Structure 1
Amino acid sequence: MELFYYMVFGGLAAVVAIVELSKSNKDRTNTSSAFESFKNNYLLVYSLMMAGDWLQGPYVYYLYSTYGYGKGEIGQLFIAGFGSSMLFGTIVGSLADKQGRKRACVTYCITYILSCFTKHSPQYKVLMVGRILGGIATSLLFSAFESWLVAEHFKRGFDQQWLSLTFSKAVFLGNGLIAILSGLFGNMLVDTLSLGPVSPFDAAAVILAIGMAIILSSWTENYGDPSDNKDLLMQFKGAAIAIASDEKIALLGAIQSLFEGSMYTFVFLWTPALSPNDEEIPHGFIFATFMLASMLGSSIASRLLARNSPTVESYMQIVFAISSASLLLPLLTNFLVSPSKVKGDGLSFSGCLQLLGFCVFEACVGIFWPSIMKMRSQYIPEEARSTIMNFFRIPLNIFVCIVLYNVNAFPITVMFGMCSIFLFVASILQSRLLAIADKPKTEDWTMLKEKNLEHEPLNAP
């Protein structure tokens, strides 16, 4: 059975190499040296930020278990992280638009470093504080950096098409290569060097500090809507009005929540799906295989985004449909393949089929990230980008908290079936977005802001 793992990994590696090496002039975009310097600086910082995140991921649950906490207590810690992201995400997003995106990126580094330090304490309350800090940091990671990039890209006068190059390469590196290297580095720290389960968190803190130093020394500040001194409540209202008044923004938010909610559910469920009878499976190697599949997806996305046809709105409805079918495999194999009741020492035939389907899903994830970034850059108003992006994460975090709370209440096949339905709905919503993609906005941000102010009381501050 080990041969199967190597065949899947080797096959994916070969396909990624072929896709990358076979790019023609149609798949490449001529840019300027100034843009290349700007892009490489951002990619360096983004890779360091993602390395700080990926180093921690595989060892959070394991660390909590070594401190003697059970599944229920660990589940509460995870819920605290997602709940923190939901409660504080919109606030920190608005502060990023108002106080500056560079400051928000630095705040991400400081917050996550403090979260890493809390891992040294076995005290439950301290670990809970660490999860809350981690939730705040996650909100900043998935909003402030992209907001800074988009604003800075246009401020420097670069071509809009070049933005896709940065998005696709960031996903290829940050969600692919860096994830694999981080997993191997963490494994070396914990297993090879026997430095303990806290060592990856210490390494993450050092890497985040290096990234913060680069941000402070080489990035300039940019803001959302600096035209007036609106308070946070006004900023929330303006972002909510923008979402409610523009169907494209609302559709984009719903699509993002449906896909990312399914993706995070998959993260929790793939291990028990592949080893229902406690089969011995190489978790680290399978994780690396998934990341390689994600790299393949980002390579495909870079080709698609470099061309004018098909449009991102067009091909993403196909990607969502394929991802929906891939997460149906656990449900289908449960009916078509007789499940084994005997504890095995390797991946079953059903597990092999599911592993292939999961790799397809991860490839879809690799296509999703740069593509959703591209659509967000087109449809979300620059003045409230971070605020609106974190609004999108509210339903996502509610969904993940509900799943975590009820993870033992439903069979795994039902959970995967639910995710498949969500992804199919995302495909339908994407087709609607495609239909109205060229429809002009009824009102721009300035008009919405003026409308908002007109409805404010005269004695409002």
Structure 2
Amino acid sequence: MEFYFYAVFAVQAMVLVALEFGKSGKDQITTSPAFNAFKNNYLVVYSLMMAGDWLQGPYVYALYVFYGYDKGDIGKLFIAGFGSSMLFGTIVGSLADRYGRKRMSVIYCITYMLSCFTKHSPQYRVLMLGRVLGGIATSLLFSSFESWLVAEHFKRGFEAQWLSLTFSKAIFLGNGLIAIIAGLVANTLAGTFNLGPVSPFDAAACVLAVGMGIIMLTWPENYGDQAEGKNIIDQFTKAAAAIASDEKIALLGAIQSLFEGSMYTFVFLWTPALSPYDQKIPFGFIFATFMLASMLGSSLASRLMSRPNLRVESYMQVVFAVASGSLCLPVIIQFFLPDERSESMTVGGRMNLLGFCVFEMCVGIFWPSIMKMRSQYIPEDSRSTIMNYFRIPLNIFVCIVLYNVSAFPISVMFGMCAIFLGMAGVLQRRLRVVSEKHWNRNSDVSAEEKLRDTEAEPLNI
């Protein structure tokens, strides 16, 4: 393996260690033992849930190829997963507000385990069912758990600033360290132990079963809107009205869809961008390098969110600009560097690798930051429903990209992603302006109320 890959990985690792162990007192937040116990319990559960998801990722495509399906059939299976998340997952995920976030988290585990079991069958219709179940589970993963955490955090009387600690650590572990370990475990099971491409899915089912047990034994239930006589239509109507009536929520949803749509498109594009002539490069090690970059971003986000005078809405404008610039790099390389055919990674590929690491670092900053903003702006009684509304345009976008992925050059697709990230930055600037007006207005109202209360108090002479 080329020294270049080791060098990129080593530099990121050293920066990460410096960030994690070089925190000063002002970068740390003083918490309570009760909060630490609560946070650690959630981090264990969230890590297990993400491990169940990451274990499957490296071998989904490989399993379908193993069963003899071509690229067109596999593309339809992937589209079915995102389409299911949009249609069925949105409805099922929104039920968490009414019927309980803990209950829907358990259903996530059951649904995803069933999806894993379908991988034992080579029949196309059974695999399609598995993709549908996986799409539903994905919607639950990215709504029910966060909704439970936010509600339980404030229910127990913990400070709002402490929530950012849980968010940043969850992403640091779940989207970084756990992803690297899961990739290595999956590779060991399927490759080293020669158990076949279905073995990582069996491991994922086992991990999910352990997590489900912890949820059932340690998590209390919490709910959103449980008003009598309301059905699912009323719930969706209320959530839609909240989005339409509050510009901050609408902007947040648009920002999330633009960024995540670009992120999922990047997942399909980075492999051919780094090896345009099918060069043999260490994809597993490169994936681990990306996850390390994401961990670096989440560690940086933890520092940023711990600063009381720095608001998320401000620094995220810079993050989106940097992310947009990093995905412009393949477009620039396509125009200014000549084609270079070789058996190893090209000069353009090496430059792209650096840009992609920067993008993954932005992803690591994005996740805890968007969670923090969602906890501030989305109303508690419709939290899960609104969060699943946000995923509808995202899933539509990804389905369109998957359907047309071979119709456009890679440089065009990266350029499109860069434009979307730039648009997210513009909307983020608008969100900052609107939110500052909101906070200033609330501060003025609080000051007036305090003054009136003071004037109304009788003088004790």
Query: In structure 2, what residue type is equivalent to 1:367?
Result: I
Structure 1 distance, partners of 2:115, 2:367, is: 26
Other-structure match for 1:450: none
Cα shift at 1:308: 1.7
TM-superposition CA deviations, 1:333-368 (whole Å, max 9, x none): 11111122x3x2211000000000000000000000
Specify every segment of 5 or more residues in structure 1 that has no aligned partner in the other structure, as ranges: 442-461
Secondary structure at the counterpart of residue 278 of structure 2? coil
Other-structure match for 1:17: 17
Other-structure match for 1:173: 173
Structure 2 distance, partners of 1:103, 1:91, is: 15
Secondary structure at the counterpart of residue 405 of structure 2? coil
Other-structure match for 2:381: 383
Other-structure match for 2:214: 214
Other-structure match for 1:128: 128
Structure 2 distance, partners of 1:205, 1:174, is: 17
Structure 2 distance, partners of 1:93, 1:384, is: 11
TM-superposition CA deviations, 1:67-102 (whole Å, max 9, x none): 000000000000000000000122112211000000
Other-structure match for 1:312: 312
Which structure 2 residues correspond to residues 54-93 of structure 1 after superposition, within 5 A?
54-93=54-93
Other-structure match for 1:372: 370
Query: In structure 1, what residue type is equivalent to 2:430?
Result: R
Other-structure match for 1:432: 430
Structure 2 distance, partners of 1:278, 1:153, is: 49
Structure 2 distance, partners of 1:167, 1:152, is: 14
Other-structure match for 1:363: 361
Query: In structure 2, what residue type is equivalent to 1:47?
Result: S
TM-superposition CA deviations, 1:92-135 (whole Å, max 9, x none): 12211000000000000000000000000000000000000000
Other-structure match for 1:453: none
Other-structure match for 2:398: 400
Cα shift at 1:370: 0.1
Cα shift at 1:178: 0.2
Cα shift at 1:309: 2.6
Query: In structure 1, what residue type is equivalent to 2:232?
Result: L
Specify every segment of 5 or more residues in structure 2 that has no aligned partner in the other structure, as ranges: 440-461
TM-score when normalising by structure 2:
0.94
Structure 1 distance, partners of 2:22, 2:236, is: 46
TM-superposition CA deviations, 1:368-399 (whole Å, max 9, x none): 00000000000000000000000000000000
Structure 2 distance, partners of 1:89, 1:189, is: 30
Cα shift at 1:229: 3.5
Secondary structure at the counterpart of residue 406 of structure 2? coil
Cα shift at 1:16: 0.3
Structure 1 distance, partners of 2:347, 2:406, is: 25
Structure 1 distance, partners of 2:180, 2:356, is: 17
Other-structure match for 1:201: 201
Q: Which runs of 4+ in 1 moved over 4 A?
A: none
Structure 2 distance, partners of 1:429, 1:238, is: 24
**1:164 and 2:164 are equivalent in the alignment:** yes
Other-structure match for 1:332: 332
Other-structure match for 1:52: 52
Structure 2 distance, partners of 1:229, 1:32, is: 40
Query: In structure 2, what residue type is equivalent to 1:358?
Result: F
Query: In structure 2, what residue type is equivalent to 1:404?
Result: L
Structure 1 distance, partners of 2:211, 2:344, is: 40
Task: Say which is worse superposed, 72-81 or 21-30, in terms of deviation.
Answer: 21-30
Other-structure match for 2:146: 146
Other-structure match for 2:411: 413
Structure 1 distance, partners of 2:343, 2:438, is: 58
Other-structure match for 1:35: 35
RMSD over aligned Cα atoms: 0.8
Structure 2 distance, partners of 1:281, 1:253, is: 37
Aligned length, in residue pairs: 439
Query: In structure 2, what residue type is equivalent to 1:406?
Result: N
Structure 2 distance, partners of 1:108, 1:398, is: 22
Other-structure match for 2:103: 103
Structure 1 distance, partners of 2:249, 2:61, is: 35
Other-structure match for 1:260: 260
Secondary structure at the counterpart of residue 45 of structure 1? helix
Structure 2 distance, partners of 1:297, 1:146, is: 20
Cα shift at 1:201: 0.2
Structure 2 distance, partners of 1:350, 1:94, is: 44
TM-score when normalising by structure 1:
0.94
Structure 2 distance, partners of 1:47, 1:90, is: 23
Query: In structure 2, what residue type is equivalent to 1:22?
Result: G
Secondary structure at the counterpart of residue 30 of structure 2? coil
